[in-house]
Amino acid sequence: MADLKTELGEAVAAAFAAEGVDASLARVTTSDRPDLADFQSNGALAAAKALKANPRDLATRVAARLSGDPRLSGVEVAGPGFINFKVAEATLATRAEAIAGDTVLAGASAVTTPRKVVIDYAGPNVAKPMHVGHLRSSIIGESLKRLFRLRGDTVWGDAHFGDWGFQMGLLIVAVGDEGRADAFLTDGEGPFPDQSPVSLEDLERLYPAAAAQAKEDPAFRDRARKATAELQAGRPGYRALWQHFVAVSRTALEREFGALGVTFDLWNGESDADPRMAEMIAHLEARGLLVQDDGARVVHVAGPGETRKKKLADGSVIEAPSPPPLLVISSEGSAMYGTTDMATIVDRRETIDPDLILYVVDERQAEHFEQVFRAAYLAGYAEKGTLEHLGFGTMNGTDGKPFKTRAGGVLKLHDLITQARDKARARLTEANLGADLSPEEFEATAHKVAIAALKFADLSNSRTTSYVFDLDRFMSFEGKTGPYLLYQVVRIRSLLRRAAEQGAGVSPIAIVESAERDLALTLDAFDQAVSDAYDKRMPHLIAEHAYRLAQSFSKFYAACPVLIAPDDATRGSRLALSKAALDQLVLALDVLGIETPERM
């Protein structure tokens, strides 16, 4: 269903065209002076300049053409040629009724041509516990998956498990050196033990130690590289041991993702692209794209003569290819991250054939994805524009650097969620909320408050910016926070329960008071927020709308008594507005991946 700005924009475009002006200039925006108007159009200024005419005269003629539109209660020209529009109360009421009756999209609109979309996010790794660095990718990716589904796309969320790189070789050697995996290190086809020789705690201990040793001990590093190559070549014992690493790690990952409310349709790992590797490499060779480079094999992805300035360690600046070649096969014969990423594109094309693949990965990986995408386009594995890297900023401490524990280490995601849950319990108790809930309900509510605090704090910031982590501020029930929004949801649900107990129901919506008008206009703005968030891949626009809606309802609730309204019709109208606000707010929060409680 079209929002009021879209409808009004079409009317203004027709009026501009009737004056011989390019209709594309008739852009309508929300008024920056809501005390004067609901919407405005500044197109007369640009149009008059192109026509060498007086902008106010042109604006006056356009306004005259729109003055009889029954959807408007006022059309005025201000300043040098701004056109201000006031929407009629009946128009607002009709739009609010339509939103209230929209049980699926709550006033938003679906795309006209749905697409098949894969969203690659989270990127957990075998043997590495999830930490705060995984939080943004998981939260943003989950929200985008829900947003694209809301608009009608068919979406696959893929965790893209990191299970096939050098860290696997490190683990194989480290486990072997501890004498834990003798049965897996022998030659032959097996059979191999069904019982894992390592626990998650073992992997978390072994991996960082092995990674550190590889930096200091070239012989150990070479053994790990050889083990990686043999694993990828299909050595049976290494494959069996690797499968245990994956299974043990996935159990812990599913626990953390479950606590965050993050789900995946695909748990594909880098290893799932391995069957495509040989054919892909042969294809790259046949196309003349794969070339030798100091013992390795690479794809040159920069265009002819394309250069950029590169700063060297000594401070000097040189001209270098832009971007550098994509390393496909190392000098040891191992496939690299870029290789598996490109093979994954091939695999997704063969199994899903998506119209679009989105990669929600740290902005610091921008060059890597530029290399992979360019190589994929050159090889014909994807059409230009169908691969997008959606980079994001970092979650920082108060020192402005990526968030660390007080001891200076990286905080595990499990520990962060535990801290948030503990803080939520304390805040609920301080605010005297949840006292009437059973212990089980209280715990469930505390968890929802904790996750809402974490997710909204992240998603209320633009994806591309960094933000400072402050759990005390995020957990407040006042201000622009997740807990505040949950409180507003619970407040409206309580209002509707009391109305039902009194036998009061909804009735046709009428817009009379200014607070009713503001709430109706805010409800109408959801469609634009959803559309913009979708087009720009920016979930914070949904978060902004949710906060505005909560504020608008709060003002409405204070200014317009609902249960003690002066008459049944007014009470029913305000109940209908309240329910429409609840449904839209719950949907907006659901798109953000935030679950709402019934009571507090």
| Residue ranges per structural domain of the chain | 4-87, 166-260, 268-392, 413-591
pLDDT of residue 165: 82
Mean pLDDT of 87-106: 97
The residue written with tokens 């998650």 in the block is 200
% of the chain with per-residue pLDDT over 90: 79
Better-scored residue on pLDDT, 126 or 373 = 373
DSSP-derived secondary structure for 489-552: HHHHHHHHHHHHHTT---------SHHHHHHHHHHHTHHHHHHHHHHHT-THHHHHHHHHHHHH
Judge if 268-392 and 413-591 fold alike in CATH terms.
no
Average pLDDT of the chain, as a whole number: 93
Decide if pLDDT at 406 tops 70.
Answer: no
What are phi and psi for residue 298, nearest 5 degrees? -135, 165
pLDDT of residue 407: 63
- The sign of the CA dihedral 54, 59, 62, 67 is negative
Decide if pLDDT at 598 tops 90.
Answer: yes
pLDDT of residue 405: 65
Q: What are the pLDDT digits (tens) for 213-252?
A: 999 999 999 999 999 989 988 999 999 999 999 999 988 8
pLDDT of residue 291: 94
Distance (Å, whole) CA 480 – CA 543: 10
**Residue 537 in contact with residue 531, Cβ under 8 Å?**
no
Q: For the domain with range 268-392, which CATH number is right: 3.40.50.300, 3.40.190.10, 3.40.50.620, 1.20.120.10? A: 3.40.50.620
pLDDT of residue 335: 75
At residue 507 the predicted structure's pLDDT band, cuts being 50, 70 and 90, is very high
Distance (Å, whole) CA 126 – CA 161: 7
Q: What are the pLDDT digits (tens) for 431-441?
A: 999 999 999 99
Mean pLDDT of 493-505: 97
Mean pLDDT of 188-194: 93
pLDDT of residue 398: 81
Which of 126-130, 324-328, 448-452 is modeled with the greatest confidence?
448-452
Q: For the domain with range 413-591, which CATH number is right: 3.30.70.20, 2.60.40.10, 1.10.1060.10, 1.10.730.10? A: 1.10.730.10
pLDDT of residue 105: 97
Select from 263, 262, 32, 151 the least CA-distant residue to 542: 151
pLDDT of residue 25: 86
Architecture of the domain delimited by 4-87? 2-Layer Sandwich (3.30)
At residue 334 the predicted structure's pLDDT band, cuts being 50, 70 and 90, is confident
Which of 112-121, 184-193, 410-419 is modeled with the greatest confidence?
112-121
3-state helix, strand, coil in the chain (%, to 5): 55, 10, 35
**Residue 326 in contact with residue 299, Cβ under 8 Å?**
yes
Mean pLDDT of 472-496: 97
The residue written with tokens 């209709």 in the block is 23
pLDDT of residue 404: 73
pLDDT of residue 133: 79
Q: What are the pLDDT digits (tens) for 34-71?
A: 889 999 999 999 888 888 889 999 999 999 999 999 99
Mean pLDDT of 288-297: 93
Helix ranges (H only) for 309-466 are 337-351, 366-379, 413-430, 439-459
Distance (Å, whole) CA 515 – CA 555: 7
Q: What are the pLDDT digits (tens) for 224-233?
A: 999 998 998 8
